[in-house]
Amino acid sequence: MGGYVSTTLLLEIFPSGAAHMTAVLLPFHLAKTSGDITAEVLDIFRWIIIIGYLCIYKVWRTCEDYVRDGYSGLRYVLSTAGIVDAAAIANFIALQYWRLSKVKPVEPMSSSNSQNFVSYSRWASWEEMAAIGEAVLVFILIVRYTMLLRFYPPVYRFFVLFGKSFRVGLYYLAIFLPVAASTIFFANCLYGPYVEAYSTWVKSLMSFVSVLQNVVDIDALYKAAPAWTLFYVTYCYLILFCFFVNGFLAITAYACAIHGFLTARAQGSGPLRMVWF
């Protein structure tokens, strides 16, 4: 493929005799690829859309509309749309600064590197972070595009429903987050030295997300701690999967019912003929 792979290998041997191997493989390119050429062409349009439209025209036009209606221009800056626009602009500027400021290292096969060791791990990490930044930028733009569709009644009702559910969900997180943190801590202490999926805090967090989806590798857990696995699996199933996860669904259903009732009452259709999506 014309690229390289930055490899980091680590072997840990615990006092108990257990061995844990970690391999970090980060692919990267030093020469310009077809993807880089395509990105340079797309950057022209992104400069026009993000900087020309969002950063200059959109801010000026929206603030002017707010001032004409008797509000302060900061009303847009501190609004949800303003924060999303600012996030897209900041992300795009950061990516462009990274591309312009970073100097690619010398090719590994060049004559100047034939006698010296050169580490490419930092450059590979930078490329990985740039790819993540591009994905975040696309996500922000999709969110902004979705917000523009609120003129369509079903989309508007969805945003109203999401707002009601989100506010109640924040209160629910005050109960859920301590339980989640304690579960992650317990699983990491119990299975960390023996099961790779719980060997680090990040992997323990990802395993906890899998538990919320009722996906658990019971065989690996049972081999590591037979006495505690039954308790852990039962606790995760009853407390997390059956109760807490369904609590979020109950919040959404409750908000949907309240929104349907209020919409029906506003339209005079009566509580028995609620207007849904």
CA–CA dist 250, 128 (Å, integer): 38
pLDDT band (50, 70, 90) for residue 262: low
**pLDDT at position 116 over 80:** no
Give the HSE-up count for residue 242: Cα atoms under 13 Å, Cβ half-sphere.
7
The residue extents of the domains of the chain are 35-150, 165-267
**Alpha helices (H) in the chain, listed in sequence order:** 34-46, 59-68, 74-77, 80-101, 121-148, 153-191, 201-212, 218-224, 226-235, 245-267
The answer to which of 15-19, 189-193, 235-239 has the lowest mean pLDDT is 15-19
Residue 138: closest CA among 46, 56, 55:
46
Q: Are 48 and 21 in contact (CB under 8 A)?
A: no
Burial class (CB in 10 A: 0-12, 13-18, 19+), 127: buried
Higher pLDDT, 264 or 194: 194
pLDDT of residue 185: 92
Higher pLDDT, 202 or 118: 202
Bridge partners (DSSP) listed for residue 20: 12
**pLDDT at position 277 over 50:** no
pLDDT of residue 19: 74
CA–CA dist 86, 76 (Å, integer): 11
Six-digit token string for 170: 């924040």
CB-based contacts of 258: which residues, under 8 Å, 6+ apart?
164
Angle between helices 80-101 and 121-148 (to 10 degrees): 150
pLDDT of residue 133: 87
Tokens 């369509």 — which residue? 152
The gap from C-alpha 147 to its chain's centroid, in whole angstroms, comes to: 18
pLDDT of residue 26: 80
